[in-house]
Amino acid sequence: MSLEYERERYKLLKSMFDAYKKELYENRLIALDMPIETDNGFNVERETLIDDIDEKLEILRRHIDDPYFAKLIFEDKEDGEKFNGYIGRLSVGEVSSPDDNKVVDWRAPISDLYYNGKLGDTSYKAHGKEYNVDLKLKRQIEIKDNDVKSIYDFEDAVSSDEFLKPFLKQGADNRLKSIVATIQAEQNNIIRLPLFQNCIVQGVAGSGKTTVALHRISYLMYNYKNKIRPEEFLIISPNEIFMSYISSILVDLDADKSNSYSLNTVILNLIGNKYSILSKHAQYEYLTKNNLSTKYLTFKNCAEFKNVLDKFYSNLLYETFHKPLLVSGIEVLDADTVYKYFLGREDTLEELAEHGSKKLGLALYYEEALKTKALSQINFSNLDITKKEQARKIVTSGNYGFIKKMFKIEKDPIKLYIKFISNIEKFCNFDECEMLKKYTLKNIKQNKLAFDDLAPLLYIISKIDKLPYYNGLKCVMIDEAQDLSILMYHVLKVIFKNATFAIFGDLAQGIYSYQSIDNWEQVSNIIGDCQVLYLNKCYRTSVEIMEEANKTLVKLGNKQASHVVRNAGEVEHFKDNSVETIRKLIDKFKDEFKTIAIICKDEFDLKDASLKLKDLNLVILDENNINYNSNDKILLTVQTAKGLEFDCVIIYNRDGFKDDTMDLRLLYVAETRPLHKLILCNDNSTK
């Protein structure tokens, strides 16, 4: 089966796709002719059918130019049934057909043979059963411009460096791309984990963490469509720029109906847009500039702080429900007696008020001893006969509506948070309570929230609101997960109590040690039943770039990352970062590379660079500008660059990075953003 053979088969399969498209349009016309209403009202069947056809047409439109990328031939060792067909981005034709006139979706169980199977005796799993097969052919097929350009036959997994090189040499643009044709075995194993398996993926920079995470969502949507709807997925992104960056791959993977939010958006959706959220680095720079300790931030983000929040909530319960039952101004039941009816349930404040009031009302109605106790207080009071009779009716009927009105529930999370922070010394013995209180309240007064306020605020919100939307989510994927605190994981577990978690991160890229985690074991213990997996190979960068980045990893005390053997020229070092130097570098590489990024250590360097390089027509990427075009020359900070990749990266001020943990991590992130070229300016660190 030569290249010419595959070209002829492509023509046949292309005609099949055209026929399939025509069939879908005909079925849509039939569906449109169905009555809009039936005897039972709105014709749901008609709308469902139209929606299903429209979805298939959209998928076909997206993938018609490259409908498949691989071919498999194998024989089932049990029944001798043969499979001869293609693997692609959608399914067409009958799988049971003996001829190679069919395409199977890459997410289907049978496609696992392409990613993991070896020629000869191998197996795949489907519907809870393992199938042993004799794999005779595993072929990669490149289709471009309506023609088969090349074929590549494998004997092992899709992991040859020589095979990967052409794909890795491709340029970066302003959007992440799918890797369905080149998914590696270790990536495939993560993608195909069962739906309800919690997982943590520790991956080195450039190992494909984000891409794998998004392919996993697509895989789960396809294989578990009867158990989970697209809108029950949530992707928690580090920022709005990152969300824009991944938007096109979600479309390409037919996973664009999933939800994607930053944590900032999650909190602002719950409390309103009155408050702005300070960036982590803005907070860090303020503390550093004023020589202030970060100790209080470490405390505010640790597991112990949850215990402090729990104590505050217990006190809030006591203040809210420890009240005597007053009827016509007479105390018929003391506060201790009333309070016990509001304990023992893991409910929100509103639910506790509802359930506790009903419980107390029923007790007054059915329990003679309690009723007698309450009535005796009325009988011995100074009320007139009419008011006594009214009071007796309230007690004997167990009027829970009357009881519930006694309890005023504070529903404003900001007011509760201010109350908590203002009185924090009542709930802990932390020696820097005053500093914590001072800067937190100062920010709130200015309608600002720091990132470390988000977790405690979400905790408080979860105690006053049922959050039905978040409780209804079934799968939560977190990217750049090393940047979340232990407290945040405790809170996310509470909020997304019915969800499975897929957590992707790299401990070496955790920039703010006082707000980040330093091991995955703590997170695993919080999430529970969690499988920890590793992606240790970098596919993004060249040998030369990874060697440079590995020097930084060694300084951090981390293991060096392995990488694909792909050479792309030496890393370049310049002793200055003048306008002329930067201009010459951009002019030199602008035709060779599509995306060029100048990365600054922090906002201070960004301001310096934006002024110095203002005549170079650079696009500044930040929270105010989240979009850029493929050919733009970008200026941004390391914090903004996290998770992104570019063809060429110029580090603006290498000497600005000190040899402490935080700066080394910042440097490592910057060094691992380029695919092909790394340049370090103002670099006097090497001879």
In this prediction, residue 97 carries a pLDDT of 67
| Pairwise CA distance, residues 650 & 605, whole Å | 13
Provide the pairing of β-strand 619-620 with 596-600.
Answer: unpaired
For the segment 242-268, the average pLDDT, to the nearest whole number, is 87
pLDDT in tens, 144-156: 888 999 998 887 7
pLDDT band for position 425 (50/70/90)?
very high
The domain containing residue 502 runs over which residues? 188-279+466-536
Q: Which strands make up the sheet holding 500-505, listed edge to edge? A: 259-262, 233-237, 475-478, 500-505, 198-203, 530-535
Residue 165 one-letter amino acid? K
pLDDT band for position 653 (50/70/90)?
very high
Q: Examine the domain organization and report whether 130 and 201 are in the same domain.
A: no
Provide the pairing of β-strand 103-105 with 198-203.
Answer: unpaired
For residue 424, give both structure tokens.
């924090």
Given a cut of 50, is residue 285 above it in pLDDT? yes
Q: What is the CATH number of the domain that holds 477?
A: 3.40.50.300
Among 47-51, 596-600, 683-687, name the most confident range: 596-600
Residue 309 domain-assigned (yes or no): no
For residue 264, give both structure tokens.
């900032």
pLDDT in tens, 95-131: 666 677 789 999 999 999 999 999 999 999 998 899 9
pLDDT in tens, 130-188: 999 999 999 999 998 889 999 988 877 665 555 555 555 565 555 567 788 889 889 99
Residue 627 domain-assigned (yes or no): yes
In this prediction, residue 686 carries a pLDDT of 55
| Pairwise CA distance, residues 166 & 150, whole Å | 12
Share of the chain above pLDDT 90, in %: 58
Q: Examine the domain organization and report whether 349 and 222 are in the same domain.
A: no
In this prediction, residue 424 carries a pLDDT of 96
Q: Examine the domain organization and report whether 530 and 576 are in the same domain.
A: no
Residue 602 domain-assigned (yes or no): yes
Given a cut of 60, is residue 352 above it in pLDDT? yes
Please say whether the beta carbons of 297 and 515 come within 8 A. yes
Higher pLDDT, 75 or 44: 75
Which residues are bridge partners to 650 per DSSP?
598, 679
Residue 687 domain-assigned (yes or no): no
Residue 306 domain-assigned (yes or no): no
| Pairwise CA distance, residues 401 & 535, whole Å | 58
Q: Examine the domain organization and report whether 532 and 547 are in the same domain.
A: no
Between helices 451-464 and 349-366, what is the axis angle to 10°? 20
For the segment 518-524, the average pLDDT, to the nearest whole number, is 93
Please say whether the beta carbons of 652 and 598 come within 8 A. yes
Share of the chain above pLDDT 70, in %: 95
| Pairwise CA distance, residues 56 & 331, whole Å | 68
Decide which of 155, 178, 199 is a domain's last residue: 155
Residue 286 domain-assigned (yes or no): no
Residue 368 domain-assigned (yes or no): yes
In this prediction, residue 687 carries a pLDDT of 46
Q: Examine the domain organization and report whether 127 and 89 are in the same domain.
A: yes
Q: Examine the domain organization and report whether 505 and 576 are in the same domain.
A: no
pLDDT in tens, 442-478: 999 999 999 899 999 999 999 988 777 787 899 999 9
Q: How far is CA 34 from CA 24, 30, 53, 564, 575, in A?
A: 16, 7, 14, 56, 73
Q: Which of 100-104, 112-116, 213-217, 375-379 shows the lowest mean pLDDT across its residues? A: 100-104
Q: Examine the domain organization and report whether 366 and 503 are in the same domain.
A: no
pLDDT in tens, 546-603: 999 999 999 998 888 887 777 778 999 999 999 999 999 999 999 999 999 999 998 8
Number of domains in the chain: 4
The conformation of residue 625, written as its DSSP 8-state character, comes to: B
In this prediction, residue 416 carries a pLDDT of 96
Given a cut of 60, is residue 491 above it in pLDDT? yes
Given a cut of 80, is residue 64 above it in pLDDT? yes
Q: Examine the domain organization and report whether 487 and 549 are in the same domain.
A: no
Number of Cβ within 10 Å of residue 289's Cβ equals 9
In this prediction, residue 585 carries a pLDDT of 95
| Pairwise CA distance, residues 671 & 390, whole Å | 78
Q: Examine the domain organization and report whether 505 and 547 are in the same domain.
A: no
Decide which of 536, 562, 578 is a domain's last residue: 536
Q: Examine the domain organization and report whether 509 and 550 are in the same domain.
A: no
Decide which of 130, 155, 180 is a domain's last residue: 155
Residues whose CB falls within 8 Å of the CB of residue 68, separated by 6 or more in sequence, listed in order: 13, 86, 87, 88, 89, 103, 141, 143
Q: Which of 109-123, 254-268, 365-379, 407-421 shows the lowest mean pLDDT across its residues? A: 254-268
For the segment 669-674, the average pLDDT, to the nearest whole number, is 95
DSSP secondary structure of 30-79: HHHHS-SEETTEE-HHHHHHHHHHHHHHHHHHHHTTS-EEEEEEEEETTT
In this prediction, residue 145 carries a pLDDT of 87
Mean pLDDT, the chain, rounded, equals 89
In this prediction, residue 318 carries a pLDDT of 95
Residue 631 domain-assigned (yes or no): yes
Given a cut of 60, is residue 311 above it in pLDDT? yes
Given a cut of 50, is residue 659 above it in pLDDT? yes
Q: Examine the domain organization and report whether 64 and 11 are in the same domain.
A: yes
Residue 175 class from Cβ within 10 Å (0-12 exposed, 13-18 middle, 19+ buried)?
Answer: middle
Q: Examine the domain organization and report whether 18 and 148 are in the same domain.
A: yes
Higher pLDDT, 250 or 289: 250
